[in-house]
Amino acid sequence: MGWFSRKNKPNKAKNSPVDIKKEVWSKCPQCGEIIWKKNLIEVDYVCTSCGYHFRLNFAEKLRFFTDENSFSEIFPDISCLDPLDFKDSLPYKKRIQKAISKTSQKSAFICGSALINGISVAIGFLNFEFMGGSLGSAEGEKIARLIEHAIENKLPLIIVSSSGGARMQESIYSLMQMAKTSAMLAQLEKEGLPYISVLLDPTTGGVTASFAMLGDINIAEPNALVGFAGARVIQQTIKQELPEGFQKSEFLMEHGMVDAIVKRKDFKDTLFKILGYVDGN
């Protein structure tokens, strides 16, 4: 029969037309619009049809937040450990290795000093591409050291979060990072240094429940998902319909959890303005 004698489809070679299409076009996850990638860069990775904010990789974040070539990384060698020898469908050690090869970074938190329109800051980024930007002991240690760096050098602190929350593979070790980072932020406050927290889509779980919501000023990008537990879990627990826009940055702003919603192209100028106010200028 002709049906059974059909040859198997050849394996997709690298750079097959399908791959090339993926490299050239992006599909908006919210409205399905197909956008030419080159155009996407020009519009700051925001869908022109529905306003969806595509997730940014680390290099793009640097471009939006800091002056060109001003970022100087500190503590790049602190990497994730596996204190519980944890295995789920894959050993945690393997997951770490995969994340390192995917991102060329040793943890989900990258930090250093940089300039924002000429102002020196201590700045760190949780990188969603590395295990969902989750908070493990390496990330917590780097955040704590970044805060120490800010205190020693009398710099304002900025943390840009994008995270699924505490890293379950490290269990209590990751939960302890919530207390550790919060305690360090209290030290920063004692020194009278400002902390601005920036919430990108998504910022959830233990990260929202600790340092991400402890900014002297919390700013979020439009339509970002920011919350602790997932909406479905909350709905099932309280057995009530949740209001429209629940856990979106606009909803949080209306309810006093977020101080400002800022478009991507305005991140740097807004931070510059805030830093000017808090510095008493």
Nearer to Zn ion, 51 or 243 (CB): 51
Exactly one of 25, 26, 30, 257 binds Zn ion (CB under 5 A); that residue is: 30
Q: Is residue 235 a contact point for Zn ion (CB under 5 A)? A: no
Q: Is residue 49 a contact point for Zn ion (CB under 5 A)? A: yes
Nearer to Zn ion, 53 or 95 (CB): 53
Minimum distance of Zn ion from residue 34's CB (angstroms):
10
Distances (CA, A) of 253 to 55, 205, 217, 223: 21, 18, 12, 11
- Distance between CA 164 and CA 208 in Å, rounded? 9
Q: Is residue 44 a contact point for Zn ion (CB under 5 A)? A: no
Nearer to Zn ion, 35 or 144 (CB): 35
Q: Is residue 33 a contact point for Zn ion (CB under 5 A)? A: yes
Cβ atoms of 109 and 127 closer than 8 Å? yes
Nearer to Zn ion, 33 or 60 (CB): 33
Binding span for Zn ion by CB under 5 A among 49-57, 106-114, 188-196, 253-261? 49-57
Nearer to Zn ion, 35 or 188 (CB): 35
User: DSSP string covering the chain, please?
Assistant: -HHHHPPPPPPPPTT-HHHHHHHHEEE-TTT--EEEHHHHHHTTTB-TTT--BPPP-HHHHHHHHS-TT--EEE-TT-----TT--BSSSBHHHHHHHHHHHHS-SSSEEEEEEEETTEEEEEEEE-TTTGGG-B-HHHHHHHHHHHHHHHHTT--EEEEEEE--B-GGGHHHHHHHHHHHHHHHHHHHHTT--EEEEEEEEEEHHHHTTGGG--SEEEE-TT-BEESS-HHHHHHHHTSPPPTTTTBHHHHHHTTS-SEE--GGGHHHHHHHHHHHHTT-
Give the number of other CB atoms < 10 A from CB of residue 38.
9
- Distance between CA 31 and CA 60 in Å, rounded? 23
Exactly one of 28, 80, 131, 219 binds Zn ion (CB under 5 A); that residue is: 28
Binding span for Zn ion by CB under 5 A among 25-33, 38-46, 183-191, 240-248? 25-33
Q: How many residues bind Zn ion (CB under 5 A)?
A: 8
Minimum distance of Zn ion from residue 27's CB (angstroms):
9
Exactly one of 45, 46, 47, 158 binds Zn ion (CB under 5 A); that residue is: 47
Nearer to Zn ion, 40 or 168 (CB): 40
Binding span for Zn ion by CB under 5 A among 8-16, 44-52, 65-73, 239-247? 44-52
Nearer to Zn ion, 149 or 264 (CB): 264
Q: Is residue 31 a contact point for Zn ion (CB under 5 A)? A: yes
Q: Is residue 220 a contact point for Zn ion (CB under 5 A)? A: no
Minimum distance of Zn ion from residue 251's CB (angstroms):
20
Nearer to Zn ion, 35 or 116 (CB): 35
Residues that bind Zn ion (CB under 5 A): 28, 30-31, 33, 47, 49-50, 52
